[in-house]
Structure 1
């Protein structure tokens, strides 16, 4: 450890060396501020700065009242494919669970009629579901479904199956549209996802078509510290997608 580094940077370097060497695996509790103060003979302010910066840089996460831990790499979800989140989580060897917050048939408003490209629809099916990995919320799903294409959607048990699984089994997918935005969570999203007001989120807005009609419009909100979106495709030499 270089003596030329500021004290807080030396503490950061010590923690990062242990993480990068594998000595401190994801989920391991790192020394507390008090322990760092005693070990390095530094001020509490210096120890706090080192831990705070490592959290901001994505190496550590803090559980209030419990401690500070080496953060696991965020899970990945496909940006462009329709994937069942329960299957993604199971493939990682983790436990999937869900909390159904809203399940209802709702009157359609002009904005949603435009999204569904059908002003004759009288109502839509609507669900709000929190998807969890090992008991930790990783996705908030806010979904509207065309009842003409999936009439029994609202009657399904979404604690036992996912909306994506129901839709894929019920009707073919012809076309997908995706929009991704970075955002800060609303108060409801903070409560449902168990995150702070300053936790960055990724909001994936997805429309899918079946037999030429919009089947569903969904907003999938991910805490950025827990999930990442990815895409990989073959391209032409000039970078266009291969057909």
Structure 2
């Protein structure tokens, strides 16, 4: 018997049935009451496992009918070797784009931010925190620091109408980018912002951009790992 928490054992049981094809798309899964008896656990434990799989897009609840296996959801995709405006990406997929500005402020660079932007401690820096949505579902949490000397009007922008990427591209033409990508265990703030389920993976893209020889911005871009992927194409 696995030492994993009971809800994870139930979740793995359901996931194995889906992955093996025993429960195909459209199949009505075993009821919560039956799973409660099968695993000798509380209804709450079973419900937690099913909620996680619903959040990950593998199951769908239909009121008064039951819970059914979903078709795999196509992941949103961005190019790794390029920078695109996320609003355009979303609309090009035929989805509705919206955003929510969480914070937009002038700050002084601490040691961590000074290192990210290549500036002295206490240098004036602009900070923005924005959630980007695709069809009302959060697809990216963007934390961005901008060198105030190179984009002095950054805080005057309405970032529900224009994205930081679009504004900076227009005012500080891109000459170089630096990307690092990693899978992380998201903290509570990121999980809440992206509506991540209990153990849903998170994809973090760390990006810095230059205009000519000027390091203009540094951004942390968080994505739900079950709904997003990055790709690259290299011509040889």
TM-score of the aligned structures, taking structure 1 as reference length:
0.75
Alignment partner of 1:13 is 2:13: no
What SS class does the counterpart of residue 188 from structure 1 fall into?
A: helix
Distance 1:114 1:61, change over 3 A: same
Report the counterpart of residue 231 of structure 1 in structure 2.
232
Task: Confirm whether residue 60 of structure 1 aligns to residue 58 of structure 2.
Answer: yes
Structure 1: gaps (5+ residues): 1-6, 25-29, 38-42, 236-243
Q: Is the Cα–Cα contact under 8 Å of residues 185 and 197 in structure 1 kept in the other structure?
A: no
Corresponding residue for 1:222?
223
CA distance in structure 2 between the aligned counterparts of 1:194 and 1:89, rounded to whole angstroms: 18
The root-mean-square deviation of aligned C-alpha atoms, in Å, is 3.2
What are the residue-to-residue correspondences of 1:1-243 with 2, within 5 Å? 13-16=21-24, 19=25, 24=26, 30-34=27-31, 45=39, 55=53, 60-61=58-59, 67-68=67-68, 70=70, 71-119=72-120, 122-235=123-236
Residues 1:211 and 1:10: Cα distance change in structure 2 (over 3 Å): closer
Structure-1 separation of matches of 2:30 and 2:110: 53
String of CA shifts for 1:40-85, please: whole Å, max 9, x gaps.
xxx755xx7xx97xx59x7714579895551412111111211101
Cα distance in 2, alignment partners of residues 116 and 173 from structure 1: 15
Q: Is the 8 A contact 2:60 2:68 kept in 1?
A: yes
Q: Which moved more, 1:105-114 or 1:84-93?
A: 105-114
Q: Alpha-carbon deviations, 1:9-66, whole Å to 9, x = none?
A: 77752433xx4xxxx5xxxxx52432996xxxxx755xx7xx97xx59x771457989
Q: Distance in 2 between matches of 1:195 and 1:10?
A: 23
Distance 2:149 2:101 in 1: 23
Contact 2:110 2:122 in 1 (8 A): no
For 1:80, what is the secondary structure of its paired residue? coil
Between 1:100-109 and 1:63-72, the stretch displaced more is: 63-72
* Alpha-carbon spacing, 1:233–1:77, altered in 2? closer, same or farther (3 Å): same
Map Cα deviations across residues 183-207 of structure 1 (whole Å, 9 max, x no partner): 0111001111111241111100000
Of 81-90 and 108-117, the range deviating more from structure 2: 108-117
Between stretches 65-74 and 120-129, larger displacement belongs to: 65-74
Structure 2, unpaired ranges of 5+: 1-12, 40-45
